[in-house]
Amino acid sequence: MRFRAWSVVLSFVWLTISSWAVAAAGAQTLPAGTIVNVRTSQAVHADASQVGRTIRGVVEDSVVVGNRVLVPRGSGARLEVVAARRAGNMRGRNLVTLELRSLDVRGRTVPVATSYVEFRGRREGTNTAGRVIGGGAIGGAVGGLLGGGTGAAVGATAGAATGALVAGSGRERLRVPAETLLQFRLNAPAHVRR
């Protein structure tokens, strides 16, 4: 009876170890720090991007580990917008932050944890200040020439208001075009099944 109990226990241990070996043989690991180059398939606009939006891409270069191609070139990639901020009319800066969330390798989805890529637009506050001050100076000079001291004050006020109006309407919008090449670094190992 004792022999039979031990044989059952040893059989379970052997099955467990062999299943681990089979699982290990069927999966390869992309180590943390591995670089993955992805080319976007669609444009990203700061004005239209929301956190959680999915962006499609394609792996640009095969990912090779130990002389084995684990992620072939042309594999699908899913990016996600993890931060998006729109500049105001007078101040701030457009911002879009993307992370690589998963790879499609030979028909299987491989979740990944990666670094992020951040795109920033121009600051609107410095442009606004320059346009308001410039408009005020030009308006004050013209008003001073035409109406003296009172005309200078009225002209400066009108010029500053015009400068603010022009600054608020002429902001540049951040746009990341399709086919943009992005580089991500794995923060944690990822397991690719064959």
The verdict on 106 and 75 lying in the same domain is yes
The verdict on 95 and 136 lying in the same domain is no
According to the model, what pLDDT value does residue 168 have? 46
Q: Nearest CA to 164 among 192, 136, 122?
A: 136
Any domain includes 90: yes
The verdict on 140 and 105 lying in the same domain is no
Any domain includes 15: no
CATH of the domain at 176: 2.40.128.260
How far apart are the C-alpha atoms of 110 and 35, rounded to whole Å?
A: 15
The verdict on 137 and 43 lying in the same domain is no
Q: Are 55 and 98 in contact (CB under 8 A)?
A: yes
Any domain includes 188: yes
Any domain includes 11: no
In this predicted model, what pLDDT tens digit does every residue of 11-53 receive, in sequence order? 455 545 544 543 455 679 999 999 999 999 999 888 878 899 9
pTM: 0.62
Q: Print the domain residue range for 143.
A: 126-169
According to the model, what pLDDT value does residue 94 have? 87
- Provide CB contacts within 8 A for 68, sequence distance 6+: 28
Any domain includes 3: no
The verdict on 189 and 100 lying in the same domain is yes
Any domain includes 152: yes
According to the model, what pLDDT value does residue 47 have? 81
Q: Nearest CA to 79 among 106, 48, 42?
A: 42
